[in-house]
Structure 1
Amino acid sequence: MTRLTVPRVVMLLIGALLVVYAFALPAVTASRGPGDARSGRVAKADAEALAQPGASRRPAQQLFPPAGKTFIGVMTEKGPHDFTAMNMFTAAAEHQPQAMLFSSGWAVDAFDRTLFDRIKDRGMLPMLGWEPWDYRSGEAAVRKGLPTPEIDRARNEQPQYRLSHIARGDFDSYLRSWADGIKSLGYPVAIRFGHEMNGYWYPWCESVNGNQPGDYVKAWRHIHDLFRAAGATNVTWVWSPNNRWDDSTQKLATFYPGDDYVDWVGISGYYSTVFTSDYRSFDTIFSQSIQEIRAFTSKPLVITETGASDANGRKAEWITEAFQMLARYQDIIGVIWFEVDKQKEVDWRIVSSPVVAKAFAKAVADPRYQFTWSSDMLPRTKLAD
C-alpha cells in the first residue's frame, strides 16, 4: 500500500491542475470575443473568407466610354471661357455632350484650373488642344488684310517654337507647370498636343518652320516623359493628324510616337466645298486614313474635329449619312463636333439652321450615344476592354 506523504499529495494536486488547464485552454480560446487577439490560423481563415466571391470590396471603375458606346464632344470658339455656344449646341442637339475640346496657345496661356473644372462640373471630359505657338501673329496678319501667303508665313514660321527646341528642353519649366497643375486636378483629362502635324499650316508641322523629319515624335515623347516623371498620370494622350487629303502627303505612320506614348488616336476631317464642289461622304473623308492608321496601331479612335458645309444645301444630309456610317466603325469611341462659325470660311455649327439641328438631334438620339460621363470613370485605352 502506497503511503501518502505530504510531498506526494502536493505532486498529485499539481498534476490534477495541469490536466484541468490542458482541457480548459482550447475552450477559453474559442470563446474569446472579436476584440481579443487571434491565432495566426484564425486570421488566415478570415483573410481567405474576404477573398471569396461576393465578399465586400471596392467596385471596379467604369470605363469611358462604356462598352458599345460612343461619346459626343463639342468644340466652340470660346470654350470654357464662355458657355453660350455650348449651351446653344446642347439645346439644338437635345443631347448633353460627354466631352469638350478647347485650345490653349503656349505663348499666351498659363495653366488655369478653373477652365478644366468648369468643363468637369458640366459633366464633360476636358480635352486640351495644346498648341505650341503664338496664335496672335496670324490673327494680326488677318486684321491687316495681308495676302494669304503672308498670313500663312505669320502663322507657321515661328522659329522659337520649332519642334527641336521643345525636344531639347527649352520649354521644360512651362511644361512642368502644366504637368503639376493637371496632376493636381485629381480627375481624368485628355491632351491633344500639336494636332494636324501632317499639314503645313502650324509651326509644329514637320514640313515648315525649319522642322526636320522625326522632330514631331521626339517632341511628343519628351513632353509625355516629362508628365510621367511629374506624376501626371491622369492624362489621356490623344494623337490627332489631319485626314490625308491626297497621296502626295506623308504617311501617317511617320508621325506616330508609338503605342507606349499614345492612348487615343484621332483624325480631323470636314465635309467642305472650299476646295471642291463635289459631295464627299464620311467614308470618303475618313476611311483611307482609318485604314492607314489601323496598319500600325489598334488604339481606340476619336474623330477629334468634324463639321459640314451647307454651301450646296447638303449639310443635314451629310450629318444623317455620317452617323449611319459611324455604326460600321466599332473602333470609333468618340466624335467631336466643331461648333464654330468661321465667317470668312464656313459656318460649321449645327445651329446654322433648324433643319441641320433636327438632323443632328435625331442622329445622336441613338442609344449608342446615350450615357453620362463622370469624373470617376477611367478612359478606355483598349478596344477589347
Structure 2
Amino acid sequence: MNARDAALAGCAGACLALCLAILPAAAPAGESIAGFRAAGPTVPFPAVSGVDAPRPVPSGLTAAGYRKLAESHEAAGRYQEASVAYRKEATIRRKLGDVNGAKVEESKADWWHSEVILYREAPLRGARCGPAKFEPASGCYIGAIVERDPRVGGDHATFNRLTGKDHSLFFDYRSYGVAFPVEWARRLKAVGAAAQIAYEPTQGLEGVRDDATLQEFARAAAASGIPVFLRFAGEMNGDWVRYNRDPAEYIRKWRLVHGVMRRLAPNVAMVWTPNAIPEHNITRYYPGDDTVDWVGVNFYTVHHHNNLLSRPAEREDPADMLRFIYDRYAARKPIMVCEYAATHFCKADGKTLPRYAADKLRTLYTALPRRYPRVKAICWYDIDNTTHSVRAGRDINNYSLTDNEEVLAAYRDTVAGPYFLSTVETGGTRESGVRFEALAPGRTLSGSVRLSAWAKTHDDRPVVGYRLDGKPVLATAARPYEVEWDTRRAGNGEHTLEALVFVKGRVAARQSVSVRVVN
C-alpha cells in the first residue's frame, strides 16, 4: 500500500469508527425493530450523510481516453463512474476486434459496478415440473464430487451429514470407452441421489461411434434406475481438450451420442457444458435445442490465475461468470453449474483463505434464486487439487469443502433453505416450494413478508441497510440480507421501502420501492 492509499484507508476507517460510535449498538439476530426482524445478526446502521449522484461520463473519447478517465474516477473513489468508463472503453475495443482487451476492461467494469435489488419470498403450490427432462418445478438441485475427499471417502451419506443436507446428485469423471460406473450408481441410488457424469473422449472424437461400447454404456445407465445427467465432451471450447478443433465434427458426435441415449436410456439427460472461458467460440459448438436437455457451465473462483502472482483474481464476482451462458440459453434450457468451487488455499502466494472462499460461495449461491432463477442445479468440486488433482498441472488450489470449518459452515448455512433441493424430480406436480420475486413498485403486501436483497458491489462483505419511509430500521452484513417484515406494524396505506448498500461507511447503491400495505 502506498502513502496515498494508506492515508485514504486511514481516513475512511476513522470516519466509519466515528459514525459507528454515535449509533445504537447492533441488535442480535431475531430481535424485532419496528416490525422488522433480521434472519441473521445485525450491525449498526451506518450514517447516511447524502449520496453524491453519479457524474455523467462523456461520449466521444478514444479507448485510451476512457481508460484514463476510468482510472481517475477509480482513484477518487467514484466507482460507478469508473465502471461506466471502463465499459465504454471495452465497447470500443470490441468494435476494433480486441476481444481479449475488451474482456479485461469489462471485468473491471463489472467489479466496480454496484447495484441492489429487493426481493420478496413467495410460496409455490402445485407447481408442475419444467418441460426439460428432470427440470424441477422450482428451486435448484445441489451436488458435489466427493470421491477424492479423504474425510468422506466416497461415502455420500457422510457428505450429506457433514453439510447438513441431502444432496440431489453427485458427479464424477468417466473416460469415453470405460464402462458405466454400475457400483457407484448403486451407491447413489441407496442415498436417493442422481448421477452427473463427465463423459470425456480424452483420445479425441474419432472413436465415438454407435457401436457396442456406447450401447453397453447406455444400457447400463438405463439399468441403474436413477436419473443420469450425461455431460458428454464438456469444455469443448477450451484448447486443453482434444475435441475442440472441429466444431462441426463435435456437433456430429454429440448428436450421435444423444441418439443412442434417447434410444436405449430414457433416464439420461444430455448436458451440453462449455467452460465459462473463452467465450468467443462457445456458440460454434452448440448442437441444437433438439439434442440438448440442459445447458451446463464450469467455472471456479481462484485467488490467482494459473498460479501466477501477476494475475490476481480477487476482483472477480463468481456470479458474473454465469452471465454469458445464462443470457444466451436460459430462456430455452435449464442451466446447470456442473463444476464450481472457491479456493481456500492458493499455492501461488501460499495463503490460506477460508474467509475468501466463504464469501465467494455465499455470493454465488445466494445470487442463484434471485438473479439467476433458471440455474436449476449447481455442483461443488470437493477436491484438494494440491494433493488429489484430477488433471496434471492443476495442483495449485484447495477446493475441499470439508477440511476447513469456516468454509464448510458457510456452505452448510447457504444451502440449508428449501430453495436448494435434495431430490431430483422426475415429473408431475410438487405440493410446495419457494421462489423469489423482485419487489415491484406498487406491490400490495399483507401480513408477514420475508424480504431479501441481491447486492453487487466491489466488496465481498457489504452492509445492507433497510429503511421504511425514510427512517433506518436495521442493517445486516449476512447474505442474502433476509428480514421478516410484519406489515401490520406499519399500518395500511402507501409506504416507501429502501435498501442501501454500504461499503466502508459509504453508500454504494440503493433501491427505493413504493409498496401498498393492506391488512
TM-score range, shorter chain: 0.5 to 0.7
Provide the residue aligned with 1:136 in structure 2: none
Deviation of 1:360 (Å):
0.7
1:92 touches 1:358 (CA, 8 Å); kept in 2?
no
For the pair 1:277 / 2:345, whether they are aligned, the reply is: no
Residue 332 and residue 300 in structure 1: after superposition, are their counterparts in 2 closer, same or farther (change >3 A)? Answer: same
Provide the residue aligned with 2:415 in structure 1: 364
CA distance in 2, matches of 1:262, 1:220: 9
Deviation of 1:100 (Å):
0.7
Cα deviations by residue, 1:104-162 (Å, 9 ceiling, x for unpaired)? 1135x2234222121121111112211112xxxxxxxxxxxxxxxxxxxxxxxxxxx33
Provide the residue aligned with 1:52 in structure 2: none
Residue 349 and residue 87 in structure 1: after superposition, are their counterparts in 2 closer, same or farther (change >3 A)? Answer: farther
CA distance in 2, matches of 1:291, 1:116: 33
2:270 touches 2:291 (CA, 8 Å); kept in 1?
yes
Provide the residue aligned with 1:125 in structure 2: 194
- AA in 2 matched with 1:162: G
Cα deviations by residue, 1:176-215 (Å, 9 ceiling, x for unpaired)? 1112222333442221111111111122223xxxxx2311
1:1-385 mapped onto 2 (5 Å cutoff): 64=134, 66-78=136-148, 83-84=153-154, 86-87=156-157, 89-107=159-177, 109-133=178-202, 161-166=203-208, 169=209, 172-206=211-245, 212-228=246-262, 230-245=263-278, 249-275=279-305, 276-279=311-314, 280-294=316-330, 298-310=332-344, 311=346, 313=353, 314-327=356-369, 328-343=371-386, 344-373=395-424
CA distance in 2, matches of 1:290, 1:303: 10
For the pair shown, the structure with the greater C-alpha radius of gyration is 1
- Over the matched positions of the two proteins, sequence identity in percent amounts to 25
CA distance in 2, matches of 1:220, 1:291: 23
2:160 touches 2:166 (CA, 8 Å); kept in 1?
yes
Which ranges of 4 or more aligned residues in structure 1 deviate by more than 6 Å?
Answer: 60-63
Cα deviations by residue, 1:213-260 (Å, 9 ceiling, x for unpaired)? 3111111011112233x4322211111110024xxx533211111111
Cα deviations by residue, 1:4-30 (Å, 9 ceiling, x for unpaired)? xxxxxxxxxxxxxxxxxxxxxxxxxxx
Structure holding more helix per residue: 1
CA distance in 1, matches of 2:181, 2:320: 39
Structure holding more strand per residue: 2
CA distance in 2, matches of 1:217, 1:118: 33
CA distance in 2, matches of 1:371, 1:69: 10
- AA in 1 matched with 2:228: V
Structure 1 counterpart SS, 2:137: coil
Structure 2 length-normalised TM: 0.49
Structure 1 length-normalised TM: 0.65
Deviation of 1:175 (Å):
0.5
Structure 1 counterpart SS, 2:213: helix
2:238 touches 2:277 (CA, 8 Å); kept in 1?
no
CA distance in 2, matches of 1:225, 1:324: 37
Structure 2 counterpart SS, 1:110: coil
Alpha-carbon RMSD across the aligned residues, in angstroms, is: 2.8
